[in-house]
Amino acid sequence: MVERKPRLEGKVAIVAGAGSQGQIMGNGKATAILMAREGASVLLVDAVEDRAAETLDAIAAEGGTASVFAGDVTNAADCQAMVEQAVASYGRLDILHNNVGIGGAGTVLEVTEEVWDRVMAVNVKSMMLTSKCAIPHMVAGGGGAITNVSSISAVRPRGLTAYSVSKGGVIALTQAMAIDHAKDLVRVNCIMPGPVYTSMVAVNMTEERRDARRRASPLQVEGTAWDIGWAGVYLASDEARWVTGVILPVDGGVTIASPSR
């Protein structure tokens, strides 16, 4: 039997959007729990402090190391304070997992300017701001790993135009940052989740709709937040040391499926 050490042993991680907006396991929450299980010290960042505190309870119950930072990642001062707290608490910064994202429904005929600007700020600008504050500390430590959470909605848009455009922006941001910071050994990758069942999408969802989402994937298996979390662990780990600029669909094969006849 091969024994292995925890995959993130000794690493310090920030998970932005580490809470869940409901009782169903969220992508950011699962990622934070798995990172702690794999030996990372995790700063749990969320605009709603109670949500991050619930994630902290789950990690503490398993004997993991984590703490909470309440802040809004669309705010530059909060991003700076967040990074400073991670470094002050744990001595370094190796991993930034940018999970924060909100929906944005409607066509360009329907969306308001206010909603459009908000979706771009929360889904794209926030990742630029958190990265701007995190990268200097990663460089000082010899490198790091940033993972941005996009969505298959970026490449398979349907009725969520502001959301799709913002998630396309996340892909472009990932690739630009991967090139810009490779010389400093900062790897930047992107996860494109498919239709996973989390609190974010469960609101008002019927069992029929939930089953249709499950059947949309060639695997015909419902995706969960844990599937997204494991991708986050891999991309943050040294096992992915030669992986940068990658856009990883975690979607049961949805993006390669043809429409059924």
Piece of the chain touching ligand NAD by CB under 6 A; list 44-52, 106-114, 131-139, 181-189: 44-52
**What gap in Å lies between CA 231 and CA 7, rounded to an integer?**
12
Residue from 48, 53, 76, 182 in contact with ligand NAD (CB under 6 A): 48
Structure tokens at 86: 């991670």
149 binds ligand NAD (CB under 6 A): yes
Q: Which of 64, 101, 144, 232 binds ligand NAD (CB under 6 A)?
A: 101
Name the minimum Å distance from CB 70 to ligand NAD.
9
Alpha carbon distances (Å) from 98 to 14, 117, 125, 130: 8, 19, 11, 8
Task: Figure out which of the listed residues 47, 129, 133, 145 binds ligand NAD, where binding follows CB under 6 A.
Answer: 47
Among residues 58, 120, 128, 201, the one that binds ligand NAD under rule CB under 6 A:
201
249 touching ligand NAD, by CB under 6 A: no
Candidate segments 59-67, 68-76, 132-140, 233-241, binder of ligand NAD by CB under 6 A:
68-76
Of the pair 144, 223, the CB lying nearest ligand NAD is at 223
Strand partners, 144: 186
Which phi and psi angles does 15 have, rounded to 5°? -115, 115
User: What is the per-residue burial (b if ≥16 Cβ within 10 Å, else e) of 50-84?
Assistant: ebbebbbebbeeeebebbbbbbbbbeeebbbebbe
User: Across the beta sheet with 186-193, what order do the strands follow?
Assistant: 65-70, 41-46, 12-16, 95-98, 144-149, 186-193, 247-250
Pick one of 26, 144, 169, 252: the residue that binds ligand NAD (CB under 6 A).
Answer: 26
Whole-number Å distance between alpha carbons of 113 and 32: 33
Closest by CA position to 140, among listed 74, 86, 191, 189: 86
Between 7 and 97, whose beta carbon lies closer to ligand NAD? Answer: 97
CA distance 1 to 22: 39
Is 33 a residue that touches ligand NAD (CB under 6 A)? no
Considering the complex, state which of residue 181 and residue 213 has its C-beta at the smaller distance from ligand NAD.
Answer: 213
Residues that bind ligand NAD (CB under 6 A): 17, 19-21, 26-28, 46-48, 51, 72-74, 99-102, 122, 126, 149, 151, 193, 195-196, 198-201, 225
Catalogue the active-site residues.
Answer: 163
